Structure 1
Amino acid sequence: MNSAAESGQAAGRPLLAVENLVVEYPTAHGPFRAVDQVSFQLERGGTLAVVGESGCGKSTLARALVRLLKPTSGRIVLDGTDIATLPERRLRPLRRRVQMVFQDPYGSLDPHLTAQQIVAEPLRLSGVGDKAERARRAAELIDRVGLPSSALHRRPPEFSGGQRQRIGIARALASRPDLLVCDEATSALDVSVQAQVLELLRELQAETGIAYLVIAHNLGVVRAISTDVVVMHAGRIVESGPTADILASPAESYTRALRRAALDPTAVRGVKPRHLLTTAPEGTRP
């Protein structure tokens, strides 16, 4: 097949298609199904949020998508290739295309490495360039995520939580991925820093066309960053669609309960979803 035909095929298919995905954990009482027959698609350059309460299977799903966990069954089709069951030898060249930003900005960075070394590490593991080239690219990425040049030779304990998360984003971008999975990437940050990180993600997407899959429980974050959303409960998707429609007029009682919690000032953490108060049609506000 020629390159023009291949490009046409790629343009006509989603970047990511998840089909009937199941992830089970062994327990003393038999297998526990954390992700149960989950299916969705994510288009190139799009942003899909996965939302639900703690324990609903969101983080397990995220880890399966980047193959930190091996699914029990189902398919994870990345740009036409099913990566769900690929052995590590065949999976390794594809890992650079899907990267992850973790929830904990304090525990996800090696405290013994400098920021520049942390960001350059994925390049070293992939055999990209020599040491000087990797250092140069790491410095460019650190600058791009809004950290000063003085950050290059400092170590994680010297940074704030928001700065550490920016380093995590720079590290994830080092391999120039097509898809970035953000697993509660702003939940450990205060409100103002959350807003800054979300704005950074939007800017990076506009510049590079990267796609995001955002795992979140905060509906304010979901509304701020995503165009589409899937709602998970007990391992299953119970509702999905355009973010604005789902948050303004949810069809499922579980989604309505999530929205009620988000609109309760005593329950909100992080970015407060005030826009939901104005976008919800009359008669649908809890």
Structure 2
Amino acid sequence: MNQPLLDVRGLVVEYGHGPGLHRAVDDVSFRIPRGGSLAVVGESGSGKSTIARALVRLVKPAAGSITFDGVDLAGLTERQLRPLRHRIQMVFQDPYGSLDPHLDAQQIVAEPIAVRGERSRSVRERRAAELLDRVGLPRSALHRRPHEFSGGQRQRIGIARALASEPDLLVCDEATSALDVSVQAQVLDILGTLRREQGLTFLFISHNLGVVRAVSDEVLVLRTGRVVEQGPTEEVLQRPRDEYTRRLRRSVLEPALITGRKPREMVRQVAAARAAESAVAS
């Protein structure tokens, strides 16, 4: 009963060959319990998205294990992996580029339902409409194409499409980074509700420590492919041990770097973070 849904051990991912070999992920390990949520944070190029792609086997690890519900995905052939793919779904960073521009919202969400074997068109369309409603899109949006939606609405379609596969694990790769602060909050609220009501397990990839509090139990901080800090979310955010983590937090809480409206809560976080750092320094 204590077995985690996802158990990653000694993960190594490399690109290139010979003198051009680059180790993007170097000996990374973590666990996520069923219904839990882990955020992997770090600057661009730290290896976060490579971890996400390795989990869904868009890239193959050079070493280590990725044990999902007792099965090591790292060593499976594509044929062996196929029955498990629907259980791990990904929400991508680009809410426009990841959607087929030739399909309307209902067709985009119905597609994974068809892949899973549902032959009835009416059943697929009804289920797709229910999922779009679940993420807060109105019925009037069913037959609109991606270019007719805002960025936040397109990301909701991406979430609904991922849910159509009935996953156990949802990997969100910078799912809010292209969105305004207020829209980020809406998408995070949807993800949090899905976790509470459906028991989904989350891996949340982000460069922003400020957005992970709403959806993560634990945080793993990554720098140039290696783990520099890991622990409960509040502990890492309030009392980071590593200077790299402290620098990340300072950049996240710098008002000049925040796009969109600066809510009062964000201003309070800035003041609290700076006061805490002053207390530690003294």
Q: Tell me the TM-score range normalised by the shorter chain.
A: over 0.9
Superposed, 1:1-286 pairs within 5 Å as 11-26=1-16, 29-269=19-259, 273=266, 274-275=268-269, 277-278=271-272, 281=276, 283-284=279-280
Would you say the 8 A contact 2:254–2:270 is kept in 1? no
Given the two structures, how large is their TM-score scaled by the length of structure 2?
A: 0.93
Aligned residues: 276
Paired letter, 1:47? S
The answer to whether the 8 Å contact 2:192/2:214 transfers is no
| Aligned residues with identical type, % of pairs | 64
Partner SS, residue 230 of structure 1: strand
Whole-Å separation in 2 of the counterparts to 1:85 and 1:185: 28
Unaligned runs of 5+ in 1: 1-10
CA-CA distance at 1:227 after TM superposition: 1.3
* Letter of the 1:82 counterpart: D
CA distance in 2, matches of 1:50, 1:285: 27
1:270/1:25 CA distance change after superposition, 3 Å: farther
Partner deviation per Cα, 1:72-111 (whole Å, 9 max, x = no partner): 1110000100001211111011011100000001101000
Residue 28 of structure 1, CA deviation? 7.0
C-alpha change, 1:108 and 1:271, in structure 2 (3 Å) is farther
Q: Secondary structure of 1:283's match? A: helix
The TM-score, its normalising length taken from structure 1, stands at 0.92
Aligned equivalents of 1:61 and 1:242: distance in 2?
A: 20
Distance (Å, rounded) in 2 between the aligned partners of 1:115 and 1:88:
29
Q: Deviations over 1:29-67 (max 9, x none)?
A: 331000000000001111110000000000011010111
Which amino acid in the other structure matches residue 245 of structure 1? E
Unaligned 5+ segments in structure 2 are none
Q: CA deviation at 1:127?
A: 1.3
Measure the CA separation in 2 of the matches of 1:33 and 1:60.
10
Q: CA deviation at 1:284?
A: 3.4
Report deviation, 1:277.
4.0
Q: Which residue in 2 is equivalent to 1:8?
A: none
Decide whether the 8 Å contact of 2:253 with 2:269 is kept in 1. Answer: no
Verify the 8 A CA contact 2:210 2:249 in the aligned structure 1: no
How big is the alpha-carbon RMSD for the aligned residues of Structure 1 and Structure 2? Answer: 1.8
Does the 8 Å contact 1:189/1:270 carry over to 2?
A: no
Q: 1:129-163, CA deviations, whole angstroms, 9 ceiling, x for partnerless residues?
A: 42221111111101111001011111101111100
